[in-house]
Every structure is written in structure tokens, then in C-alpha cells.
Amino acid sequence: MPKLRVHNFSMSVDGYAAGPGQGLDTPLGLGGERLHDWVFETQHGRSMIGAEGGSTGVDDKFIAAGETGIGATVMGRNMFGPVRGGWGDSDWRGWWGPNPPYHHPVFVLTHHPHDPIEMDGGTTFDFVTEGIEAALERAYAAADGADVRLGGGASTVQQYLRAGLVDEMHLVIAPTLLGAGERVFDNLDPEVGGLQVVEIVSSPAVVHVRLARP
């Protein structure tokens, strides 16, 4: 059966997946960009921004795994952009430019209706107001038998964990402290959505922790 998977979800040593003060100039919050420095040292990470070179070791392999077998993505509105409340006359089309790296349907959770946005390269942003289960149902249908990837932010991942809908989760522990911000593992039951640690791998840059259902 298709799975809902979380990949390359970076957090600080003190458990924050984003810093405080998220906004247009600080989309990951204050200091949050440090959580993702490791990505852009890899070949796959550098290719996302049109750069060459990069390492091909364990970090690169984990990034590549997050693209394998994925047919659709679900993300929260905060990951899509900084606009809050009603959309109004906003022409925001995401952080990723005219050709986002998804190349498949992306379902954005929101309380405010928005027409679909078609982008270059096969990415279409669809906006779902009916909740997390409806978004996942639509994503599975669009993925047509492939798995669905769950993006951020922390609140969105936490909602799916609380509902017991996440099948696999790949965490990346970055060697930094943020002191405040958004945490993903607060207010969850002791079983953390039924997931168990199945793999821990270290690289010179980060620690990878993979969780899955037993």
C-alpha cells in the first residue's frame, strides 16, 4: 500500500524545526537556516538551486531517498509562503520560483480557499480547506499508487503524527541550538503515532534518524 513519508526533516539539538519570528525575510525563523546548511553541501541539494558539485556520501543518499517513489506532496500553508489570513489580492506562488522542485501535485493545507496554481515542470499547487485527512486522500489519488511525501512545517507534521497517519519519518539532527521556535514532538501521545526508531546514521555534518511502523 502507498505510504505517507516525511523526509529530510531537520531540527536542532534542542528539538526546534524552525526558529522564532518566521516571515518573508526569515522563512525558517531566526537561525532556522542553520538547520539546512547540510543540504547544500550535497550533490542533490546543490542541484536544487542550480549549482554543481557537492558531496555524494550518506547525506546525499538520504536526500535522494526523499525523491524516490513519491507521486504527490502535502504541505502546510506556512511552508508554502508567508501570507496569513485571507489571500486577498496576493499573487504569491511559493518560495521556489517558476519551476518548483516537486514536479507533481502539491496539496497545501489552508483555511482560506484559493484557485489551483499551475507551475512549470509539472507542479500544481492545490489548496485544501477540508482538513488533513481530505488533503491526504486527494494526494493518494493524485499519486496513483506511489507514496505521498509530507512536507512541513512542524505544526503540519505534528497534526499527521497525532492522527497516526505517518508511515515513515526521516529526521535530521543538526549540530546547532535555537533556543525557541517550533517543535514537532510537543503534545503527542507516548507512542508518537505508532512509530519506532529503526535506523540511526551519522555523517560529519548531521545525524539521521529514521522512524517507521513496526
Q: Which grid cell sits at 187?
A: 503534545
pLDDT at 83: 87
pLDDT at 197: 96
The CATH code for residues 4-84+98-212 is 3.40.430.10
Confidence of residue 24 (pLDDT cuts 50, 70, 90): confident
pLDDT at 122: 96
Q: Which grid cell sits at 69?
A: 517513489
Q: Is the pLDDT of residue 27 over 90?
A: no
Domain assignments of the chain as residue spans, ordered by start = 4-84+98-212
pLDDT per residue over 105-160, tens digit each?
Answer: 999 999 999 999 999 999 999 999 999 999 999 999 999 999 999 998 999 999 99
pLDDT at 45: 87
**pTM of the predicted model as reported, rounded to 2 decimal places:** 0.94
Cβ-based burial of 19 (10 A; exposed 0-12, middle 13-18, buried ≥19): buried
**Longest CA–CA separation in the chain, Å:** 47
- State how far Cα 151 lies from the chain centre: 2
Q: Is the pLDDT of residue 47 over 90?
A: no
Q: Which grid cell sits at 200?
A: 540511526
* Long-range contacts (CB closer than 8 Å, 24 or more residues apart) made by 129-135: 132/74, 132/156, 132/159, 132/160, 132/163, 132/165, 133/163, 133/165, 135/74, 135/107, 135/109
Alpha helices in 110-178 (DSSP H): 132-143, 154-162
Residue 196: what are its φ and ψ, rounded to 5°?
-130, 150
pLDDT at 168: 97
* Residues 6 or more apart whose Cβ sits within 8 Å of residue 119: 93, 94, 98, 99, 100, 125
Q: What is the mean pLDDT of the chain?
A: 94
pLDDT per residue over 1-11, tens digit each?
Answer: 999 999 999 99
In percent, the amount of the chain with pLDDT more than 70 equals 100
pLDDT at 190: 83
pLDDT at 160: 97
